[in-house]
Structures are given as C-alpha cells and as structure tokens.
Structure 1
C-alpha cells in the first residue's frame, strides 16, 4: 500500500447485520380459471378515416414483445439521373422485427398506394410478425411508428403470478375455482397471493394430473415472483388425497403449511381416518361453509380459502406466533354439517375432532375457527403456531446469514453471525413472539479439519409459545366463608 500524507476513509464490511423477518402472510393458490384474460396484441394505427387511408397493424403474437415491432412505410427512391422513372408497385418485407413497406407510385413518382394495396402486400409476406387491416380507398402517405399496447397474459398456465388483494380479480373471469377462492381469502383481509392457474379438464384423472403439475410449480414461486408462499391451498380439489398429499409435499419444500379440505358430507369417522394419512405440515379442515354466491344462491364451499385468509389476517393484526383458533371467520352464513360444541365437554364432536388433530368451526358470537393442530403426533410440533414460529425464525436467519457466506472464516466472522442471531432473538422476545433464544459456536463440530474445509457450525435455540389449548379451572367448596360471616362481630 502506498504512503499518504493526509486523511483517508476506508469502509469496513465487518459487523453484525439486522435479521429481517420474512413475509409470512403469503398464500399459494392453485386452481382453474378457463375464462381468464389472454394476452393483448400490440397495435399501431396510421392514417386517418377523414382521408380514407387509416390502417391498423396488429402483432400476430400477443404480449409485450409486440411493443418492439416497428413499421416504416416510404416512397421508393427517385431513379438515378438519366434513367427513366417507371411505375412502382406496393411491396413489403419483414426484416429483423421491422415491417418495411414500399409505397407504390406512378411513372411520374407520385404516390398511389391505396389501403387495399398495403393490406394485400403486408399480409402476403411469409412469416411476417404483424397483420394489416383497413377498408378506406384513400392514398396512403409515408409514415413510421412502433406498435404499442401489447400486454402479456396475466395468468399464464402453470406459472406463479403474484397478486395483492383483489387488484386483478376480474381478469380471472367468473368460471373455475380461482376467482371464488381469492374472493373468500380477501373476505378476511386483502392478502398477497401467489396464483397458479391450471387448465380445466373434463375427465377427473386429467384434472388431477393438471393440478399436481400446477402444485409442483409453487416451489419455483420465489424465483419467479420473489414471493414464497407460507400457506398452500387448492380449494375445490384438496378433498382428493392425491392433491392433498401434493400440497403437503410442496409445503415441506417451502416451509409452509397446507390447508386440506374434507369431502362434502364426510362423517366424523371418515375425517379422522383420513387424518392418519397426513403429517406435520398439513391442517385438515372438517367443515364446508355456506355462503351466498354472485347470483344470490346459498351454496356450500370448501373452507380452506377462508382459513388461509384468516391466517393472513391474524399474521397482520396479531402476529405469526398467534394461533388462528378461537378467531372469527368473516362472511360465513352456516356450515354443511354442524359439529356439536359444548364448552368443557370432552366428548362433544368439536373436541373429539380437535383431539384427533382435525380443525372445525364453532358458532359462538359468530363462526370461529376451532383447532390449533396440524396432523402431527408430536405434543408440541402439532401446534400450527409453533411450526410456523420455527419456520419464520429459521428462514429469517438463513436469509440474513447469506451476507456472511464466503468471507474469511475467522473469529470476527463467527462473532458477527452470533451477534446478529442474538440481536434478532432479543427483538422477538421484545415483540412477544418467543420466550427467548441464543446462538453459540458448536464446541464439537468446529474442529481444525472443518475450519480448514471452510465449514463453520453455529447452534441456536429458541423458546416458542404454544397456544393456551386448555385452561383447567380447579374449584372447591369452602364453608369457612359462611362461618366467618356468621361469627363476625
């Protein structure tokens, strides 16, 4: 390093970084929308109807790519001196994304290309990227312009698309399952959803295959949209175990939770039996709920979209560490099958379902979600709020630690990592999300060999808050209160 007489400033990259909590209220929705809007083709209008020479050029392929197409219409170059001029017919050619039109002219060099001449010339070019239309009989003047207004298909098949609230709901059309599901989500709160539209099929086996392919696409949602779903649903289809298990699989990849619906009219025994097929990232939802559709008819709908919207609302209003159980679900008129609920009664339907890790709805000052558990047999990890607390902490720390990757492996780097994690744990304690947590160097795995191999092992723990599932009030009769009153002087 050269010498310096003066003052210099050097920015140092060392130090702790703030761990930012990931976004939790992101819902992945897979379904059908056969009337969804398609791509819009770019267009260009030249001329004017007043002169009868209006032409419209339309990109043959819809989408924004058409906005780069340029159309140039020119008169032919005048002949060289000493050479006689001749009449030139109208012609066109397609070259490197440009449509080049030579307007016809008379022997005297006056333009005489009509709208019909230009349309015929353009549409006769092989492999041209635009089509031309026009019905006037005026003479076309030279012009140039670029097509505009092209828009990509808003919901292409098998492609994750992010949508906030109901901003583009109308573009899904009324048919299929997606528009209704997103409406039900947004009845609870405007939520951020990642939508995967699959093709609607008439045969059940083909529809199932389309759904399985669409569900698998959710794992690429973050790469495509920058948003990673934390709740995954397929309303209207997840009563099929093939679909339900696919949701569970993708939930494991995404550190998400799958909400799976039960079939219409399923008995308590059938629901409990089905629950045994699912694991620690699935919540099985018993009820189908009554709502009013767009025509004013009362219909029964799967519950998963409502539950996903409720989960998003609780995340925003209370925190991701809260359970959604005992919270009101909006815009529900009734349930298809009433599960008996008697507070304090262990053998009522609702409690029996909950103890078998199945969630339901109860009616108490409105309809409320009733159930804390995923389909896990672990006494703490079966709580959805505990599972999601772990997911949030693990993903948030993992994202933040990328900043330390590939730095020199020394004590400063290790201390910075530990300091960052411990600061995050203190913040979560202050927010009320956890009881506590800390990070430390693993004393056994960090050996001379692992350090030389570029491997650093850091442990951390945390204390999640389980939901208050049971409040046991122990009561006894004390007759001494009466004696005290009677003998008081």
Structure 2
C-alpha cells in the first residue's frame, strides 16, 4: 500500500501476468575494417571514425566510400548486399591523419592543362614550393588542390597566381595508405570511456538498440591476434565470428593449421566459424595510385576491372544474414547459394558421395568451405563451428549455438520489466508464463523441437530468495541440421516371386478375344 494517508477509496492499476518476449535481431553483421572516407565528397555524409554505424541499404553504404582497392569495408558491404538482405553495424578504423605515407618534396612540372598529377589519391598536408626551394606557394591563391584525385592545378597569373605556366615546382604531401592499418587498430581499445575498433561493438546496443550477431573483419581476421580478439568480442556480445584463412592456402594446410598454435584456425570456440578458402571475384574497384586527365582536364580514376581474391567471410556473413531473414536463425548456413563469387582461389574437390573429398575432409576438421558441383552454383558448405571435433555437444552446430544465443538474450532483455518487483508467487508465475509462451512460439515456428521453463524450489532456498535472487530452469532443444542422410539398401531375392504373378486377362462373355 502507498505510504500517503487517505480516508476514502481508490483504485490502483497493477500490471500483472505474463509479458511478450521480443526476439532479438540475428541478421545483423558487425563489420570492422578500413574505409576510404576521404573519397566521400560531403563531410556530413562520410561515416565517422570508430563509431558503430548502421548500414541497411546501398545509400547507407555510400557513407563509407566507393570501392577502392586496399579498403575492406566497401568490398565487404558490396558482398553482403549482393546476397539480398541483412543489416550491418560498421566500424571504420582508417584514420587518414595516422594511416598515410609521406612523400618528401619532389619535383613536378605543370602540364599543358595547368595540372600536376601527384600519382596518388586521397592526399593531404600538401606543400608546394618553388624549384629550387625558396618560395612557398599558397593554396587557393597560387594553386588549387583536388585532394580526392591527387591533382594540383595552377591558378593563372591573370587570376592572381604567382606560378608561371609550365613551371617546375617541389611538392611534398601525404597520401592515404590503408596498408598502415595495424591489427591493434582493428582490435581497438577502451580508453577514457572511448571505444575504438571492434570494441565499439559493445556500445552498439546503447546507441542502436541491438548488438551485431555475426562479426567479421575481412582482410584482418586471418591474423591470429585479430581472430582471437574477434572470438573474445563474440563472447562479450553473444555473437559468432567468421575467421578467414590466408590466400592461396591448400586444403591440407588449412586442416594442418587447426593444430598450429598461434594460427587463427587453432581454436575450439563454439563462437568461431572457420572460413576457407579465399574467393575470386571480378574487382571493379578504383586503383588509388593516381588518375588520368582527359582532353578537358577532367580526372578519370582507373578501375581495376580484373579478377582478384578476397576473404570468404564477407560472402558467408551476407548469406547467413539473408537466410536468417528468409527462413530463420535456426537454419544452418550450410548449403546456401552465394552470389558474387567466381570460385575458390585454390582447386577443391567437392562431392556429397565421397568421404575422401576435400570439402568433406575440411568439414570433418570443423572448417566451413565452399561447395561447387555440376549445376549447384557456389554454396556455403559446413554446419560446424571451430568447437568441432573437440566438442561433440549439439552446440558445435552453428545453428544450435545461434538459436541458444537468441533465446538466452531475448529472455534476458524481456526480464527487465520484472527486475526489482516484490518477490511473490504471482511474480514467479508471470515470469514462467512469459518464458513458456515464448518457448511455445519458437516450437510452433520450428526454432525448437521442444522445451519449457520451470521453477524448482530446491534451487531457490529461503536464504537465497531473502537475498533477492530467483533461479529458473530452461530446458530446450533446437533442431540440429540434417548433416548426414543414410539409406540402407537391400537386394531382396524374395521380390522375384512377383514375376509372373500378374492377373490373367479376362474376356467378357460374347466378346471375341
């Protein structure tokens, strides 16, 4: 009862009973890497550094720049979106103020169009002086700078410029260099309340309302330190992570790497999915080593337009997210066709009939690979996490582990409204009713074979309840994938007795046979 005095009658509305449990989002990819934000001409559109940003469309992906070779984020977003569905929480760690290569003062000559091509895109800290040195020219007065394309253009003397047409000058500058991004940048840190790198995924729930559930760092996860950090982060946010193999790795080497300490594949975490091999694709990205000028002086960036190799994880992540949305998180990612790839960067023998095939040997070692046979297209192939074969419990199946994650986090978040209520039988009943209604809905959808929530008095002694603690049991079983289908065929000679047992032809009365 309220503490205030009342000599009369009142009605107090008390919320009671079960509450709906909202299923957490599973088709959300956490992507960390490098983006050419220097190529985004509008600073208000460019994605911020080390800030988890939600990308749900090609328009959102544009904030991380175009496809530029050497930068992982635009390529990964393109691979994800090629699968047709899914969202990504993206963290860009590329900082042009730190990740650059400095070019000392070098002699350049203005061409007939009054331009100098520095030979690199994404330039900064440009200093133009006379040759020999002595006079430092002023940007905007003596020359203009196109930092995106790496062009210095002469301001004619008639417009106030002090550089003669066709003059030779000395130019020093920095150019954006994604190869300078280190593993430590991708892993990030928490310093003074500021989260950088993949650590920024921890604040995604506070800023966006959900955590990423599929973590990738294409181009970096093949490094053991990044792979280990991704696995740790996956545990923190209750996700799974995709770890890549290095390019041009043979199937034998990939399997051997499972036992090499210090290698990214040397893990038995049920939250790690080992992705092998890397994949070829048609790379239409911009080559950032300079542009060409047409007759009108308009810069034309060069496109690679050739086959290249990229980490498999970005395509697997997109396929997983799309399958989650189309069929459900309790479906295995295996046997899902992938768009945008041309094939593995090494030759693989794939067969569902031969246990000695490369793909079967890889799966037996807990490695997810790619399957390609006549008329199948390229498919994700493998049901098990890196926990297999060390662990034989059902949660080494990727779909089982992910289903348990969704159930556990959904129930935890739904319990917020019960926290700090007075403990009573009504409260216990409401919690049980909420959990069991949720579990029943999952059984109806096919996400669970069976399950129930219960309250065991033996697990809740009075001293524990006096401390404000309640313990509930949840018993559930997600459906394992049909990884192996066996037919037992028998040659039954007794079936030969059916020969000659057909009914004789009957001729109707009065008819002519």
Interval of TM-score (by shorter of Structure 1 and Structure 2): 0.7 to 0.9
1:215 Cα offset (Å): 1.6
Q: Out of 429-438 and 326-335, give the one that drifted further.
A: 326-335
Q: What residue number does 2:391 align with?
A: 378
Q: What residue number does 1:30 align with?
A: 32
Superimposed CA distance per residue, residues 169-218 of structure 1 (whole angstroms, 9 cap, x where no aligned partner) = 22322331111110100000232110000126469786111111112222
| Corresponding position: 1:217 with 2:226 | no
- Judge conservation of contact 2:34–2:178 (CA < 8 Å) in 1: no
TM-score of the pair, normalised by structure 2:
0.70
Superimposed CA distance per residue, residues 309-363 of structure 1 (whole angstroms, 9 cap, x where no aligned partner) = 1001110111100001111111222221122112221111100000100011111
SS of the residue corresponding to residue 79 of structure 2 reads helix
SS of the residue corresponding to residue 259 of structure 1 reads strand
**1:33-52 alignment runs, 5 A limit:** 33-36=35-38
Q: CA RMSD in A?
A: 2.0
- Judge conservation of contact 1:259–1:304 (CA < 8 Å) in 2: yes
SS of the residue corresponding to residue 168 of structure 1 reads helix
SS of the residue corresponding to residue 167 of structure 1 reads helix
Q: What residue number does 1:207 align with?
A: 182
Q: What residue number does 2:419 align with?
A: 405
Q: What residue number does 2:93 align with?
A: 198
**1:246-265 alignment runs, 5 A limit:** 246-265=229-248
1:167 Cα offset (Å): 1.9
Structure 1 gaps, min length 5: 41-61, 63-150
| Corresponding position: 1:368 with 2:379 | yes
| Corresponding position: 1:344 with 2:357 | no
Q: What residue number does 2:124 align with?
A: none
Go from structure 1 to structure 2 and tell me whether the alpha carbon gap of 1:155 and 1:321 turns closer, same or farther (over 3 Å shift). Answer: same
Q: What is the number of residues matched between the two proteins? A: 377
Larger radius of gyration: 1
Counterpart pick for 1:441 among 431, 455, 471: 455
- Judge conservation of contact 2:46–2:65 (CA < 8 Å) in 1: no
Counterpart pick for 1:452 among 428, 444, 466: 466
Alpha-carbon distance in 1 for matches of 2:244, 2:472: 40
1:427 Cα offset (Å): 0.5
Q: Out of 234-243 and 440-449, give the one that drifted further.
A: 440-449
Runs of 4+ displaced beyond 6 Å: 37-40
Counterpart pick for 2:22 among 12, 17, 20: 20
| Corresponding position: 1:287 with 2:282 | no
Alpha-carbon distance in 1 for matches of 2:179, 2:377: 36
TM-score of the pair, normalised by structure 1:
0.73
SS of the residue corresponding to residue 210 of structure 1 reads helix
- Judge conservation of contact 2:32–2:217 (CA < 8 Å) in 1: yes
SS of the residue corresponding to residue 320 of structure 1 reads coil
Q: What residue number does 2:64 align with?
A: 172
**1:108-123 alignment runs, 5 A limit:** none
